[in-house]
Amino acid sequence: MKAEEKTSKKAAKKKGVVVSDKMDKTIVVAVERYKTHPRYLKKCRFTKKYKVHDRENKYKEGDKVEFIEAKPISHGKKFKVA
């Protein structure tokens, strides 16, 4: 693989709201998505939390952030702020 091919690989982007900023250089971001039930056709809300690397401790609780996939930073942290 050439260098330009590696950098052109598109990382998954996600958007969410910061729910915790108590860890050093780490924020917890909740991402909501809606899915329609196949039989009853009712929309259900699902929330998933991600640990995201925040180098400058810039983001606080309630902020909206966009983050991308990165190489693993620690055991549970595999994303960084875009």
pLDDT at position 59 = 97
Full residue range of the structural domain in which residue 65 is found: 9-81
Non-local (6+) Cβ contacts of 73 within 8 A are 53, 80
pLDDT at position 12 = 86
Give CA–CA dist 36/16, Å, rounded: 20
pLDDT at position 9 = 66
Q: Give a yes or no: residue 46 inside a domain.
A: yes
Q: Which pTM was predicted?
A: 0.82
Q: Give a yes or no: residue 13 inside a domain.
A: yes
pLDDT at position 10 = 75
Domain count, the chain: 1
pLDDT in tens, 8-67: 467 789 999 999 999 999 999 999 999 999 999 999 999 999 999 999 999 999 999 999
CATH number of the domain enclosing 55: 2.40.50.140
3-state secondary structure at position 3: helix
Of 7, 8, 47, residue with least CA distance to 28: 47
